[in-house]
Chain A
């Protein structure tokens, strides 16, 4: 299953990671760490689509965890008299994806992760808070601020938090569409 997901779902997972990192190289690292984390854990999957949904969430939580470590590293570097290296974002000119990735890159990492999980994964505030180990209040604030900034940049609209949000249930829809009889595979 790991090999199947790594081979068949890789472009989409990396694209998802790029919403968070803005960088293909960083996104690939993120996805690979998320794959290891997901398939080392207790959860098991009947289809690649199920696994992909888990990996996407692991990508978001891994992104935040790495952010926590980067912050700690920067603080340590500053204490040691060094100079922190700013997080870089690759920008490709033209097209919708660079436009959205660029807009997301202007958000704080936690805002970015919260917006992506709420709007791309259809997670509730509580689920987002649990996944990212944040308070529910912080998630609401990050989403509110992030969505406002994105709407201003992209010229989009979005229902405010607390109102019913009609989101695209991408993972669930795909899982239903692609489910097939389980098969015996010699994978990890």
Chain B
């Protein structure tokens, strides 16, 4: 008598054979990729709601500090190497007559970048440029069929030179009656020098069989960086979408600019405008935005992106209302077209963007960022964060400009392969590039299997 499982498997094989040659049409594939891209953008935007206002607040803080040089003095730390990826241990001398802190050998631990125990008194000496990062390493399981679970979450205190200190640690995954669940802590804000940081609890419940994870943002908590204790705190999690202008009175959301406080919509780039089909990139000045525009709906057509005449366009608020912007410049083959999100304004007419390289025949729905660039009205300069890490194929870049320092969180995933994030800083004035938090080290793996390390970060306000 036949076995049911065998019969079902043979039936599947037979049906697949009978359908051999069945393919979705080009337009159907383009439609699928467009739907995926939009859902990713929406998901990213929703997730960014947790961090963007904070980033904006940090950016404002950095801008104000530039005008107020009486702020906290910079901490002098070991001389940064222009391409340093793994700072060597060295003393951390201070400008003030604080006792010199001598570091020994860094701690190496599977899944974590090298780090040091946090010396007593170090936290008090931190200033602008210091940051915090949460790190929860995850890897594929042994046969690469599904994600493993994170077992630990470490909160690193990170110096401007990329020296990491363990500030707190949490054991993660537990199995309760409903499945595997754990709570991570996403950094929301931190004042450099302060003993506590504000974090948001995020509860993950994994459906192991499907690889999907239910993500439930929780309330705000105060994390004591000396004891590692978290406690509920008063306040609402940040929820507003979008990025504030440097003046802080206007917010650029997904396509629309609104007034902070009143919520009045000043204009949007939703759908077709008098300037074409446009997507916002970043604030260009405090009263204008930078956008890319094309001739037609790039995501619902089988027309390669390049053939839709992509161009950079600026809109002030009046132009945004009318849809008639000012063309800065067109793009040609091989040039870098900024993408919808991941960009930030550095100063008037200067933005840092993730961009795709325009290639003949490639549809907009298939675009992946090729790097992160400093863009002006006339020039495009590739930044070092674009360069590949040996173990990580980088094709997603999210930039935050704080003063003249550009922080970039780089990761993979646009082309399908999960990769951990890398946090770097780049000083636009002296061209110093530093890897602040890298991916989990290879640890002798023949095939790199880490898919997550850094999960959130804040730069001290």
Question: A residues bordering B, Cβ < 8 Å?
Answer: 1-3, 6-7, 10-12, 14-16, 18-19, 24, 28, 32, 35-36, 39-47, 50-51, 53-54, 57-58, 61, 95-97, 99-101, 116-117, 119-121, 123-124, 126-128, 130-131, 147, 150-151, 154-158, 165-168, 170-172, 175-176, 179, 182, 184-188
Tell which of B29, B37, B213 touches A7, judged by Cβ atoms closer than 8 Å: B29
Contacts A12-B16, A40-B43, A97-B15; A188 near B37 (Cβ below 8 A): yes
The reply on B12 being an interface residue by CB < 8 A is yes
What size tier do the contact residues of chain B reach? 35 or more
Tell which of B22, B207, B414 touches A11, judged by Cβ atoms closer than 8 Å: B22
Contact A120 B2 (CB under 8 A): no
The CA-CA distance from A154 to B177 in the complex, in Å, is 37
Please name all residues of chain A whose beta carbon is closer than 8 Å to the beta carbon of B10 when the two chains form the complex. Answer: 96
The reply on B451 being an interface residue by CB < 8 A is yes
Binds A, one of B51-59, B138-146, B258-266, B371-379: B138-146
Contact A36 B209 (CB under 8 A): no
The reply on B40 being an interface residue by CB < 8 A is yes
Q: Mark B403-427, 1 if CB is under 8 A from A, else 0.
A: 0000000001111111100000000
The CA-CA distance from A99 to B9 in the complex, in Å, is 13
Q: Which of B124-146 contact A (CB under 8 A)?
A: 140, 143-146
Contact B22 A61 (CB under 8 A): no
Contact A32 B24 (CB under 8 A): yes
Q: Mark B18-43, 1 if CB is under 8 A from A, else 0.
A: 11111110001100110111011001
Majority secondary structure, B binding face:
mixed
Tell which of A19, A42, A150 touches B12, judged by Cβ atoms closer than 8 Å: A19
Known: A50-B144, A120-B9, A187-B415. 5 other contacts (CB 8 A): A10-B19, A12-B19, A15-B18, A100-B11, A165-B5
Majority secondary structure, A binding face:
helix
The CA-CA distance from A162 to B212 in the complex, in Å, is 27
From B14, B20, B207, B212, residue with most partner A Cβ within 10 Å: B212
The CA-CA distance from A158 to B208 in the complex, in Å, is 25
Please name all residues of chain B whose beta carbon is closer than 8 Å to the beta carbon of A99 when the two chains form the complex. Answer: 11
Please name all residues of chain A whose beta carbon is closer than 8 Å to the beta carbon of B393 when the two chains form the complex. Answer: 182, 184
The reply on B170 being an interface residue by CB < 8 A is no
Tell which of B1, B7, B143, B146 touches A100, judged by Cβ atoms closer than 8 Å: B7
The CA-CA distance from A170 to B20 in the complex, in Å, is 19
Contact B33 A40 (CB under 8 A): no
Contact B416 A130 (CB under 8 A): no
For the complex of A and B, 5 pairs with smallest distance between CB atoms = A1-B416, A44-B418, A127-B209, A100-B11, A40-B39
Contact A58 B210 (CB under 8 A): yes
Q: How far is the CB of A88 from chain B (nearest CB, A)?
A: 18
The reply on B362 being an interface residue by CB < 8 A is yes
The CA-CA distance from A40 to B20 in the complex, in Å, is 27
Contact B144 A186 (CB under 8 A): no
The CA-CA distance from A170 to B10 in the complex, in Å, is 11
Contact B366 A100 (CB under 8 A): no
Tell which of A97, A117, A124 touches B11, judged by Cβ atoms closer than 8 Å: A97
Tell which of A10, A121, A124, A185 touches B415, judged by Cβ atoms closer than 8 Å: A185
Q: How far is the CB of A66 from chain B (nearest CB, A)?
A: 16
Nearest CB in chain B to that of A54: its residue: B211
Please name all residues of chain A whose beta carbon is closer than 8 Å to the beta carbon of B18 when the two chains form the complex. Answer: 15, 95, 97
Contact A158 B3 (CB under 8 A): yes
The reply on B116 being an interface residue by CB < 8 A is no
The CA-CA distance from A16 to B419 in the complex, in Å, is 30
Contact B417 A44 (CB under 8 A): yes
Contact A185 B39 (CB under 8 A): no
Please name all residues of chain A whose beta carbon is closer than 8 Å to the beta carbon of B202 when the two chains form the complex. Answer: none
Give 22 A-B contacts (CB < 8 Å), ordered by A residue: A19-B12, A32-B32, A36-B35, A41-B211, A42-B212, A46-B140, A57-B210, A96-B11, A97-B11, A127-B209, A128-B209, A130-B179, A154-B7, A156-B7, A157-B1, A157-B4, A171-B145, A182-B393, A186-B368, A188-B365, A188-B366, A188-B414
Please name all residues of chain A whose beta carbon is closer than 8 Å to the beta carbon of B366 when the two chains form the complex. Answer: 3, 186-188
Contact B43 A6 (CB under 8 A): no
The reply on B6 being an interface residue by CB < 8 A is yes
The CA-CA distance from A185 to B22 in the complex, in Å, is 23
Nearest CB in chain B to that of A185: its residue: B415
Nearest CB in chain B to that of A176: its residue: B143
Tell which of A32, A36, A156, A176 touches B4, judged by Cβ atoms closer than 8 Å: A156
Q: How far is the CB of A103 from chain B (nearest CB, A)?
A: 9
Q: How far is the CB of A2 from chain B (nearest CB, A)?
A: 6
Contact B32 A154 (CB under 8 A): no
Please name all residues of chain B whose beta carbon is closer than 8 Å to the beta carbon of A97 when the two chains form the complex. Answer: 11-12, 14-15, 18
Q: How far is the CB of A41 from chain B (nearest CB, A)?
A: 6
Q: How far is the CB of A94 from chain B (nearest CB, A)?
A: 11
Contact A19 B29 (CB under 8 A): no
Contact B3 A156 (CB under 8 A): yes
The CA-CA distance from A6 to B28 in the complex, in Å, is 10
Tell which of A57, A156, A179, A182 touches B209, judged by Cβ atoms closer than 8 Å: A57
Contact B210 A54 (CB under 8 A): yes
